[in-house]
Structure 1
């Protein structure tokens, strides 16, 4: 027994001795160096992700990517924690008992890496910009720490190569700071990091608003020509000069307008030369329209006459020609990309006059400086090092410290070159080059310049938006229950909770058929939008089906017609463009009800209330039904009952049965449904909540946002609501 106790005590003592040894090794200089290097590498990777994912949000609405972007914004894994790691690492470098020339190298390039990114990742939309008000104070504190670290290492470095390395990074840091300061001074943006939050946006939009209040009176007195753009003196670029002088905006030689772009005699913009498809001129048109759309974010509005003129431009210009819907969508797509950059990136600052040259100089110097620093580091560490110097090396004598430094600077170089490339082919650069071409007649006669500008302007490296329709099927997802381990009272403080029945279906591509159908109904309306009854009248079925357009809320209308469409999709499924349009738009509007109700006419809470109620109804009525066929049969039974129950499920089943009984065949049924959903899609587009649409620009964009931009320009409004029945009684309908 005693031997057993003695053996156990020896094991305990041995374990305590080993633990003590491990604890001591954690406080050695090498352990501290490993700790610092790990933080440096981690921070560099976070900054790389910050640069990569900063622009992906508006192009992809994938769930996994959305979670990463959410984490990067809400939890601060990209900006807040990166900044914290930099400050914390600088503090550790100050407190170490040993010195290495690579400390100032790592510190300098992490700070420069963090600040040189041109775009900021955003997920929560405009609210993400509020916390950046302390940006400059944080940067000032980092500069003080870095300056102290650099001065300390210059005094203590024992080798000439070490001093040269430190002086090299000091020079890079100093040039970077000077260029950053010059950019702030030139752009006059020192008071705000982003124009979306600054006084400058208010002032620039005020200029455009005042100008547009009378543009329709001072332009060509003849009827405007939306094909040749005669009479459309919409500003493209040049109002900056008026802005600086503080005088009202006037059209001078320094101001480029839409009519000047279309009237340009150069071969690059000629319809028989370098711009046969009109895509280059349309970039300038998109930029001009973006300036008008941005008025909504500063509570400015246009007079009715200006909206009428814009509607003429859209209807008789963009949509008039063959495949005009593709051109209209492309113009609005680029317009919204400009709006995204205005609200979430520094592009409006960078592409101000003179400032973009400073940015190009900055990026080139950083690339050259980072490569020169790698050479200095290798030269320094190839010399005989002091025996007592703390460093990490492989068994073959290869310095891990220098390898880490080379990796960080190589990543930094690729990021800077990538930013330089994407900056050169950005829509902002294209507008700048095209406007410069319009203003410089000497370029018109040259051959190389038009070819170079044309090559840049036709480069499309990335699609600006996701170009998909998110989908939701009530009959497929009503039984979904979110996992309790992820969605509960504890996690509610950290993530948005999912409700029962809230499960997306596979997204559908935004097809040409859908765009054509929706833009067709946009063309048909006379300025006042209806929620589907106009299409029913055209198909001569309004007498039978219009009751389902007159429910208490628009959310109810969408759900009832969605249920009816689901029934028809199961009973009379065909391979037809109308089937594609109706089914995809039905599920898309159902998706908006559940996932983005703020983009629809009703109050979001009302939509959530209606949706929760229909989920409860569907679970009760379809209990025990597992297959799609069983659910449809149950719905048809419910639709044939004669009770007066006020139920959206019953109304949807009754409407579905009425559609099946139309008697003119499946093709006609899907024609009615396709035209109804296309009209309803246009009907829900107008919105006074511009911020809600701006929020969704960072998550892949929504098709309804593209329509919102179009109807905003046209000044379209929904028809006044008629007296609606309440949920306490069924809507009147024919038997």
Structure 2
């Protein structure tokens, strides 16, 4: 190629680059001009309105699923929509008000967003702390409606008044205000319903002071409250206790529910869950549990757990439904709807009907108008809506109407609606027996069962027991995490098939680890990088199997509520010689014991299988192996990821784990075989890691069937021992992330009168 040719080629490239720059500049100028134009301003507001509506639809759709799943997409989507929706609505309405471009649909858009926000019943708070911000919510409501009124007034002043629009707008504005008031009522219930909870506390104290035996099987003598008229109570000036003044026929308790033969068994147990929810809620509000410990003990051990071989299934279903009520009370509007169920239902239907009328008016009156633009120099500009504006209005209003209907349908087919129907049915059946005045209750029950059947037939059965929570156990293995950490730091262990991916993964992991370490350093936590890295090596959650539930319940029944830190299980298995592993003189005793036995369990997992045995013996050994390893890794997961659910200060728990992790890395850093490295470790018991290895070696010397029986019994008892705590808010907050099995045990033990642990934890010492 000659010099002239190269020069010509370079000139051509320069010319093309210049033309490209000119094109980009021109396109940028056109885009900028369009964005500032009349239509551009309207499109910007349209986009904001659509985004805000989508966020509320995400909340309405996925808000109720976060108590069933720890799925990252659901959790993050709900959190993002909840955090941004209010700010986005405020910004959008402010943009409408301040924009020189005024559309007659703006007021409808604003009110439609209010409606969408107000009828997202499935989530009113993302965490317990959100419920305390009532003043902020009041300011938000005032701000919303000031903006809405400004838009409405400016729209009526600048456009030709239309009789078909203004009345509907005013009606929708009032309905949206009612929806917001309902949200505020939900906040008040969650934080300030002192009287409601004091009534329960005082009633239970008075009921148990009266004496009398409870038959936990037939519920004869069981007066646990289910439903009562909230407004009929007064303060006793002598005892300063709140007393229910309603007629006894209006008060529904468990005994009346059980005596009602027309209620099916599932519905009776849902009412029992609702009653237990009242009792558990007292702990959140700080009221004392005044019922007799003996009666509470018999209620659980001689009633719910009368047949632990099969009854454990029913027990956990009752607790699951109870915690569903607890979640809904603090994070949704369903409790506020329940206490005003008929009025709320009427308002929902009126609201949906009004929205449908507005949709009809918009569809039939506006489509004939065309959009035009006026000089932007005018201080205020009103445009007639385009078809796109009308379509957006119709879609948003239709979404609001559909959400209103779906939410009230979900309520009436949920446990709240079923309990409400059951209580009304019991009252009306009693009234029929007294006065023979009709069959209204039969109609109510028939309607409820018909709705449930229809929903089941079309695959929309709401709130079935299998969907009350995630039914998974988090898992963590300290030795497995150390092994992964060592492998990831070994250059020879990198992925040869895709070295670039491996390099990027190591860079990302290192960057995250350094960032976390820096944040901890700035927060004066001063935690080890190695410990932070080990914490990140989480295992995938596994399904909670029935044999694990059964093992825990059998351990509870065997203990009769006398919880120990594992020593009772060693007495049962006749291995008292291992009790030294349950003795620690340090403050975070529970954490030390959990990690000691967890390291020993990990060691036993690596012991080569000796063979021998078959048939039923092999099945039993496999069952015990699964129970022991599952609960061991779950307890380790609680130490690493949910230390606030355990007894003691969570920072003490974190420090003990960090020390054990650092020692594990230090000891096993150069190991090529974890089992051999731990087996050849000199016998010592100065630290958690050393005691864990020592315990593992002692267990290794025992027959395999005996080894896993000891571990299975220990871990079932240890999880029960770790469950009682005063960290009530932590348990409630964890319900928003799928829930934890230890929370279900915490609730069960609370109803058995086990609110804490004894000072001494040795078997046989009272």
TM range (shorter): 0.7 to 0.9
Aligned to 1:168: 168
- Counterparts of 1:68-107 in structure 2, within 5 Å, are 68-69=77-78, 72=79, 77-107=80-110
1:240 aligns with 2:230: yes
Counterpart secondary structure, 1:194 = helix
Cα 1:126/1:326, change in 2 over 3 Å: same
Asked if the contact 1:559/1:648 (under 8 Å) is kept, the reply is yes
Counterpart secondary structure, 2:230 = helix
Asked if the contact 1:473/1:590 (under 8 Å) is kept, the reply is yes
Mean Cα deviation higher: 47-56 or 108-117: 47-56
Aligned to 2:146: 144
Aligned to 2:337: 350
Counterpart secondary structure, 2:89 = helix
Cα 1:606/1:167, change in 2 over 3 Å: same
- Counterparts of 1:244-643 in structure 2, within 5 Å, are 248-249=243-244, 252-264=248-260, 267-269=261-263, 275=264, 278-303=265-290, 306-321=292-307, 323-352=310-339, 355-385=340-370, 387-388=372-373, 390=383, 399-441=387-429, 448-454=443-449, 460-462=462-464, 463-478=467-482, 479-480=484-485, 483-489=509-515, 492=519, 499-502=532-535, 503-543=537-577, 545-551=578-584, 552=586, 553-571=589-607, 576-625=622-671, 630-638=673-681, 641-642=682-683
Aligned to 1:228: 218
Aligned to 1:396: none
Structure 1 residue 539: Cα displacement:
1.0
TM-score normalized by structure 1? 0.85
Counterpart secondary structure, 1:485 = helix
Counterpart secondary structure, 1:99 = strand
Taking the aligned partners of 1:313 and 1:512, their CA distance within structure 2 comes to 23
Taking the aligned partners of 1:688 and 1:227, their CA distance within structure 2 comes to 30
Structure 1 residue 255: Cα displacement:
0.7
Structure 1 residue 701: Cα displacement:
1.0
Taking the aligned partners of 1:43 and 1:170, their CA distance within structure 2 comes to 22
Structure 1 residue 140: Cα displacement:
1.4
Structure 1 residue 384: Cα displacement:
4.5
Taking the aligned partners of 2:424 and 2:187, their CA distance within structure 1 comes to 27
Asked if the contact 1:150/1:170 (under 8 Å) is kept, the reply is no
Aligned to 1:120: 123
Asked if the contact 1:53/1:121 (under 8 Å) is kept, the reply is no
Once the two structures are superposed, what CA deviation does each residue of 1:127-149 show, in whole Å capped at 9, x if it has no partner? Answer: 22233421122111211221121
- Counterparts of 1:633-712 in structure 2, within 5 Å, are 633-638=676-681, 641-642=682-683, 644=684, 646-663=686-703, 666-712=704-750
Structure 1 residue 487: Cα displacement:
4.8
Aligned to 2:759: 720
Asked if the contact 1:194/1:346 (under 8 Å) is kept, the reply is no
Counterpart secondary structure, 1:226 = coil
Structure 1 residue 443: Cα displacement:
6.9
Once the two structures are superposed, what CA deviation does each residue of 1:202-221 show, in whole Å capped at 9, x if it has no partner? Answer: 212212212211312325x3
Cα 1:26/1:710, change in 2 over 3 Å: same
Asked if the contact 1:437/1:443 (under 8 Å) is kept, the reply is no
Asked if the contact 1:325/1:515 (under 8 Å) is kept, the reply is yes
Structure 1 residue 105: Cα displacement:
1.6
Asked if the contact 2:42/2:101 (under 8 Å) is kept, the reply is no
Once the two structures are superposed, what CA deviation does each residue of 1:525-579 show, in whole Å capped at 9, x if it has no partner? Answer: 2433111111111111112x11111134211111111111122223266752211
Cα 1:16/1:339, change in 2 over 3 Å: closer
Aligned to 2:207: 215
Cα 1:671/1:19, change in 2 over 3 Å: closer
Taking the aligned partners of 1:330 and 1:589, their CA distance within structure 2 comes to 22
Taking the aligned partners of 2:220 and 2:654, their CA distance within structure 1 comes to 48
Cα 1:450/1:409, change in 2 over 3 Å: closer
Once the two structures are superposed, what CA deviation does each residue of 1:634-689 show, in whole Å capped at 9, x if it has no partner? Answer: 11111xx24x46232222222112112113xx222222111111111111111112
Once the two structures are superposed, what CA deviation does each residue of 1:370-401 show, in whole Å capped at 9, x if it has no partner? Answer: 333333223233325365475786xxxxx222
Once the two structures are superposed, what CA deviation does each residue of 1:5-64 show, in whole Å capped at 9, x if it has no partner? Answer: x98999988876664444332211101001000000111111112222322221111234
Structure 1 residue 509: Cα displacement:
1.2
Taking the aligned partners of 1:64 and 1:9, their CA distance within structure 2 comes to 45
Asked if the contact 1:54/1:121 (under 8 Å) is kept, the reply is no
Cα 1:418/1:485, change in 2 over 3 Å: farther
Aligned to 2:187: 193
Taking the aligned partners of 1:595 and 1:89, their CA distance within structure 2 comes to 39
Taking the aligned partners of 2:34 and 2:422, their CA distance within structure 1 comes to 63
1:46 aligns with 2:55: yes
Taking the aligned partners of 1:549 and 1:175, their CA distance within structure 2 comes to 61
Asked if the contact 2:301/2:560 (under 8 Å) is kept, the reply is no
Cα 1:14/1:483, change in 2 over 3 Å: closer
Unaligned runs of 5+ in 1: 270-274, 394-398, 724-735
Counterpart secondary structure, 2:100 = coil
Aligned to 2:42: 33
Structure 1 residue 448: Cα displacement:
4.9
Aligned to 1:733: none
Asked if the contact 1:286/1:332 (under 8 Å) is kept, the reply is yes
Cα 1:386/1:242, change in 2 over 3 Å: closer
Asked if the contact 2:119/2:407 (under 8 Å) is kept, the reply is no
Unaligned runs of 5+ in 2: 1-6, 237-241, 375-382, 454-460, 489-507, 610-617
Cα 1:660/1:253, change in 2 over 3 Å: same
Asked if the contact 2:125/2:332 (under 8 Å) is kept, the reply is no
Cα 1:488/1:363, change in 2 over 3 Å: farther
Taking the aligned partners of 2:215 and 2:262, their CA distance within structure 1 comes to 22
Asked if the contact 1:268/1:450 (under 8 Å) is kept, the reply is no
Once the two structures are superposed, what CA deviation does each residue of 1:95-150 show, in whole Å capped at 9, x if it has no partner? Answer: 33333222122111011111222132644x32222334211221112112211211
Asked if the contact 2:218/2:258 (under 8 Å) is kept, the reply is yes
TM-score normalized by structure 2? 0.81
Taking the aligned partners of 2:155 and 2:321, their CA distance within structure 1 comes to 50
Aligned to 2:613: none
Taking the aligned partners of 1:499 and 1:67, their CA distance within structure 2 comes to 23
